[in-house]
Structure 1
Amino acid sequence: MTEGDGNGFDTMSRRPPSRSIIEAVAEAEGVPAHELRPPTYESLHTVIDPDALDALFEPHADGTVRPAGRVTFPYCGYTVTVDADGSVSLE
């Protein structure tokens, strides 16, 4: 894992993006995911609606995956990017 200088931290999974974000930030911070909560860390809800984010990247109703899409936002001092393929990167 590398942080800063434009390098990213990537994870690929079938977990909902909101969960992947929490796990990636927790790993980058060197803490267990369950410790990534206020008051030490901001809540994901303060910067983005996790349910809406997860719904945005769910497969289509017929089960096909979404071919494209990307969301980028600041969270816990990182720039978080979620891609349609399920990858989460932190910079």
Structure 2
Amino acid sequence: MVEGGDTVVDPSNRPPSQAVIEAVAEAEGVPPEDLAPPAYEPLHAVVDPDALDALFAARSEGADRPGGTVSFRFCSYDVTVDGDGRVTLEESIEPAD
């Protein structure tokens, strides 16, 4: 678990949706394949993984997209994905829905 601070996963060649899964799994101390129902909510319950990946993918002509971020709650974490592929987790202080 994340203890009293943020967890940041550096960018790599993996799609943002996979980076989110891997970051939360690491924070939870489980393998990514174990981050599944019924113990954990699916990513697609809170954000469309394909849309998340497309948001940060290169444009059709190959040009990079301008920077930006997207944030959402997933598995009791406030997740932020930014334009360079970095995923930041912060334990949410709000109770789960």
Length-normalised TM-score, structure 1: 0.90
- State the identity %: 57
One-letter amino acid of the structure 1 residue matched with residue 78 of structure 2 = T
Quick check: 1:47 aligned with 2:46? Answer: yes
CA shift for structure 1 position 6: 4.8
Aligned counterpart, 1:14: 13
Q: Which runs of 4+ in 1 moved over 2 A?
A: 2-11
Aligned counterpart, 2:25: 26
Aligned length: 90
CA shift for structure 1 position 19: 0.4
CA shift for structure 1 position 4: 5.4
Asked if the contact 1:3–1:9 (Cα under 8 Å) also holds between the matched residues in 2, the reply is: no
Asked if the contact 1:57–1:84 (Cα under 8 Å) also holds between the matched residues in 2, the reply is: yes
Structure 1 vs Structure 2 CA RMSD: 1.5
Asked if the contact 1:81–1:88 (Cα under 8 Å) also holds between the matched residues in 2, the reply is: yes
Asked if the contact 1:69–1:84 (Cα under 8 Å) also holds between the matched residues in 2, the reply is: yes
Q: Deviations over 1:19-40 (max 9, x none)?
A: 0000000011000000000000
Length-normalised TM-score, structure 2: 0.85
Tell me how far apart the structure 2 counterparts of residues 78 and 4 of structure 1 sit (CA, whole Å): 12
One-letter amino acid of the structure 2 residue matched with residue 23 of structure 1 = E
The gaps in structure 2 that reach 5 residues or longer are 91-97
One-letter amino acid of the structure 1 residue matched with residue 27 of structure 2 = A
Aligned counterpart, 1:67: 66
The gaps in structure 1 that reach 5 residues or longer are none
